[in-house]
Every structure is written in structure tokens, then in C-alpha cells.
Amino acid sequence: MQADIRNILKRNQLSVTASREKILHLFLEQSGALAHGDIEKRAGEKFDRVTVYRTLQTFVEKGIIHTIPTADNSVRYALCKDNCEAGHHHDQHIHFVCSHCGQTFCLDDVVTPEIKLPRGYSTNHIEVVVNGICRECTA
Amino acid sequence: MQADIRNILKRNQLSVTASREKILHLFLEQSGALAHGDIEKRAGEKFDRVTVYRTLQTFVEKGIIHTIPTADNSVRYALCKDNCEAGHHHDQHIHFVCSHCGQTFCLDDVVTPEIKLPRGYSTNHIEVVVNGICRECTA
DNA sequence: ATCAAAAAAGCAACAATGTTGCAAATATTT
DNA sequence: AAATATTTGCAACATTGTTGCTTTTTTGAT
Ligand SMILES: [Mn+2]
Ligand SMILES: [Mn+2]
Ligand SMILES: [Zn+2]
Ligand SMILES: [Zn+2]
């Protein structure tokens, strides 16, 4: 695990630092998405807020994590499982927000549907967020 | 128009005030969605920031406007055109964000697709946000 | 292992955004 | 027109995000 983390950082030409290792660790051990706040809470050792912001930004830029759209004002981040590259994400999966536990999940196996748009609109990227009850909360 | 505005407010059991009229006016004359900031800029007369927040919140609660999910941290609002009621929205259309002009539009005629989820997940509501180039910017 | 250069972390100060309580102003009802 | 109910604006505060700069850590080469 610790080796994986180092590999991911190395592969993306990022120097290996305590905060990057820790934050990446949080994403790897977690099935759902994380918001900035979650990370600060769970980090254990206290990293500066600025460091967390900068780390998340770096990870997004490198294509290690991606943001998930929400209707409220909270940005959530999750690991990219597709082969995203620096500056060019191409996740094609949908996202699921559980209204019971509040968690957000990437449903990597559910591909975003085709959308037929009116004349004059061209599509670049499609985001689908499904709200409902997740598997854990149903059982 | 001014009559329409009063009607909408009355119908929703809201008292008719300058700020509510103005803000509703902004939504009616505008094809795209508006963020809190847009409203403050375009309002002309200066309403207190708090008033704008509270007005938007009231409008959402009454089902007059709805929020639109975005991956960055900006909440956008648009008129509900379906028959949304207080405390219960049921818009079924998708949203389009133009990466050229930055505007966000409700595509009221494009219905959200069915999504087949894995076992254990149940669906309550689906949000689709398409990113691309809008009609205006294509022409 | 040691050192120099490069990169990141932490700190402080600030900006932007959102929230709350309350008094004054406005709208509605009688 | 007056009484009541509601909304507004203000002030104060909380939270979230940003920027410049100094110190610390990491890296890559000796
Ligand atoms: Mn995802
Ligand atoms: Mn809409
Ligand atoms: Zn759940
Ligand atoms: Zn456009």
C-alpha cells in the first residue's frame, strides 16, 4: 500500500511528501469521495489548510483525483480509476450520492448515457449524478 | 411582466417586496442560470447581500427556482419551469454549461435518461450536466 | 553520507462567501 | 389608518479559499 502510494506519486513526477502520502492514503482506503473538510478531519497529523488545498489541486491537475459536481456548495474529490493524464481527465462513469449516509460514490461500471441535444449544441463532457439510497444503507 | 411577477409571488404566498420583484425579474428576462454574484451585480439598486441569500433560499423552498450542480464551487439557480411545489421539486430536464460563454442553461426539452444501477442502489433523482458549446457560441 | 538546488509546507494576512440576531422599515390584514 | 406580520439592512461573526513569503523538506548529484 505504502509502495503503491509512492508509485503513484513518482509516476506523476511528484515529490514524495508526508502530506501527499497521507492524503493519497485517505483516498485509497476510502470507498467514497472526500471533501476538503473530510480530509482535514481525518488526516490525524495536522496539515495546514493551505497544504490540503494545494495538494488537492495538484492531484486534480495530475489526473490522480477528479471533482464531482454537487448542487450544494461542496466540492468532493474521488480517485480517478480510468487512465486520466495530467491536464486531461476522461472519466466516463456516473456518480451516486446517498441521501441516507451522505456519501458520494463513483460507480465505475455505469457508463454515462448518450444525450441527444437540440440542434446547435455540441457535447464535450457529460456528468451524471444519481441521488438515492446506496447499497450499504439499503441492506 | 410586472403582473406575472406579482402573480408568481402571490401564488406562492410570498409578500411582494422590491427585492423579490427585482430578483424574479432578473430570472425572467434571462435565458441562462444566475449565480448569487450575478444577481448582486445586475440588481442595479443595491440590495443587501443577506437579502439576496434569503430571497434565493425562499425561492428554492417555494419551488420557484432550482439549483444546478457544478463541479467548481459555484451554486447556480434557474427558474423552475415544471410544476414544482414548495418543498418538492420535480424538474426532469438536463443542464448545459457552455465552456465558451460560461453560461448555464436548462434544456427543458431534454429529459434525463434512465440509468441502470447495480443491485442494491435505488434512485431518487438524477442530475445530468452536459458541458460543451451552446447554440449562441456555435453560430 | 554530504551538500546544493528545487520543491513543498507552514505561516500570516487577506479576500470572498455564507450565517445569525436584532432593530428599523415595509407589506399585509383588519 | 392602525395593528400585526413579515422582510430588510446592518453588524458581527464563521467558514472557506487565496496569495506572498520564509522555513523546512525532498531530490539529485557529488
Ligand atoms: Mn468518479
Ligand atoms: Mn433547470
Ligand atoms: Zn448510504
Ligand atoms: Zn455559449
Cell numbers standing for residue A31: 470507498
CA-based nearest residue to B77, from A94, A73, A98:
A73
- Mean pLDDT to the nearest integer, A43-56: 92
Q: Give the pLDDT score at A25.
A: 97
- Give the nearest chain B residue to A57 (CA atoms): B72
How many angstroms separate the CA atoms of A125 and A88, rounded?
Answer: 12
Q: Is the pLDDT of residue A7 over 90?
A: yes
B68 pairs with which residues across the strands? B76
Could you tell me the residue ranges of all domains in chain A?
2-138
Residues with Cβ < 8 Å from A75, sequence gap 6 or more? A35, A36, A67, A68, B71, B72, B73
By C-alpha to C1' distance, C19 is nearest to B50
SS (HEC) of B18-52: HHHHHHHHHHHCCCCCEEHHHHHHHCCCCCCHHHH
Residues B101, B81: Cα–Cα separation, whole Å: 23
Task: Provide the strand spans (E) within chain B.
Answer: 34-35, 65-68, 76-79, 93-98, 104-111, 122-133
User: Cell 443587501 belongs to which residue?
Assistant: B48
Q: What is the pTM of this model?
A: 0.89
Query: What is d(CA B21, CA B93) in angstroms, rounded to the nearest whole number?
Result: 26
Report CA-CA distances (Å) from A125 to A8, A109, B28, B70, B132. 26, 17, 28, 13, 7
What is the pairing mode between strands A93-98 and A104-111? antiparallel
Contacts of B109 in chain A (CB under 8 A): 118
Report the nearest residue to nucleotide C11, CA vs C1'. A48
Residue indicated by cell numbers 423552498: B61
The overall average pLDDT reported for chain A is: 92
pLDDT, average across residues A44-63: 93
Amino acid at B107: L
Class of domain A2-138 (CATH, top level):
mainly alpha
pLDDT of residue A60: 96
Residues in B lying within 8 Å of A, measured between beta carbons: 67-75, 94, 96, 99, 107, 109-110, 113-135, 138-139
Q: How confident is the model at residue A40 (pLDDT cuts 50, 70, 90)?
A: very high
Q: Which amino acid is at A81?
A: K
Number of other CB atoms surrounding residue B4 within 10 Å: 11
Tens of pLDDT, residues A63-116: 999 999 998 888 999 998 866 676 677 778 999 999 999 999 999 999 999 999
The mean pLDDT values, 10 residues at a time, for chain B of 139 residues are 92 96 96 94 88 97 94 90 71 91 92 93 94 94
Grid cell for residue A68: 464531482
Distance A76 CA to D20 C1' (A): 28
Q: CA B34 to CA B26: how far, in whole Å?
A: 9
